[in-house]
Amino acid sequence: MPILSISYVNYRNIQDSTINLSSREVYFVGENGQGKSNLLESIYYSAYGSSFRTRADGEVVKKGFKDFSIKTLYKMENGSTENISIFYENDKKRIDKNGKWIKDRKELINTVPCILFCHDDLEFAVGEPERRRFFIDQCLSMYDLIYIDTNRNYKKILKSRNISLKEKNYEMLDIFDIQLVQNGIEIIKKRRDAIFQFNQIFGKLYEKITGIDGIFISYEPSWKSEETSNIVPTKEKVFEILNSKREIDKTIMTTMSGPHRDRIKFLRNGKDFISTASTGQRRLIAILLRIGQAIFYSNVTGKKPVLLMDDVLLELDPEKRQAVTQLLPEYDQLFCTFLPGEPYSRYMKEGTKVFEIEEGRWNERK
């Protein structure tokens, strides 16, 4: 669903105006701190109703103001034009799609499916286990509304169970465990299946760029069958695990097993790859995970995503930059940010729009 334009009022340092984005490739060029990432953020914000840089919507408001709004026009497959408007007033956010109030952000899913490449993606390779789980959950949430609900339910139940443990309200544990098991097993099934499909993509991408073969993603559920972690455990097995750990849970006052404790690792020849990988190899893993995410999304849905690339090519040598750009999958639209000195002209195609960004204002290069 290509984006045609975005109109801004009091959004970060961006000028109050409308930017025409009607091109398959759009480049934002400028020094750091001028507003390139703010423009990318606004696209992501329109797609998902939230920022990738902050959880506090008030931080998006331009300094000296209290409210902001953005209106995004995008084209449907049938050629018709639709819009998403986001208003932040009196510390409250409202999202409208074609004039209809959206009460749950999941209603935006698949409207403008964006995949973001940014510096923080390195956490998927070297960060805490939570960040790797987040990545897989994000891949699933881009198209599976049932998974979104299941994951939300699991987290809600987990929170209630942990409160009961802290308050020593143990009589509620059996009830919570039934709900936890039901939702948790569904999460394990879908994570396992997604990672299996992802492995058909990721290792080949890494080998094409580096020549290093055999890299794959290992999924180790916290609840697992005795035979192997590749088999989804039965409800009976999970209840057995929860019961065996209940006294530990009571002592520590938190739930020590479940999908919130799952492990996801990058292995080669059965050994952890990240611990011996160079900084460049780790950064490359992060970028290829996003490329893999785009391919995975297209394989599952038959649709092409919108790609947002925020200075991610800077940290690769020229040879790998060229290789990565050649590996990009089919996309509906591509937005990239560059510093003025970068050789971005090498990646341009016929019709690429280039905007020079300075102090939140843009000037289209002709």
Backbone angles phi, psi at 219, to 5 degrees: -110, 120
- Partners of 327 in the beta sheet? none
Distance CA 306, CA 61 (A): 25
Query: For 231-279, what is each residue's pLDDT tens digit?
Result: 788 999 999 999 999 999 999 999 999 999 999 999 998 899 999 999 8
Q: Are 264 and 199 in contact (CB under 8 A)?
A: no
Query: For 284-323, what is each residue's pLDDT tens digit?
Result: 999 999 999 999 999 999 999 999 999 887 777 777 787 8
* Residue 301 Cα distances to 112, 295, 305, angstroms: 13, 10, 10
Residues across the chain? 366
pLDDT of residue 227: 57
230 three-class SS = coil
Helix, strand, coil share of the chain (percent; to 5): 45, 25, 30
The band of 230, judged by pLDDT with boundaries at 50, 70 and 90, is low
Highest mean pLDDT among 34-43, 72-81, 271-280: 34-43
End-to-end CA distance of the chain: 25
Report whether pLDDT(165) > 80. yes
Query: For 168-211, what is each residue's pLDDT tens digit?
Result: 999 999 999 999 999 999 999 999 999 999 999 999 999 998 88
Backbone angles phi, psi at 67, to 5 degrees: -125, 160
Distance CA 243, CA 339 (A): 56
| Six token digits for residue 52 | 């990738």
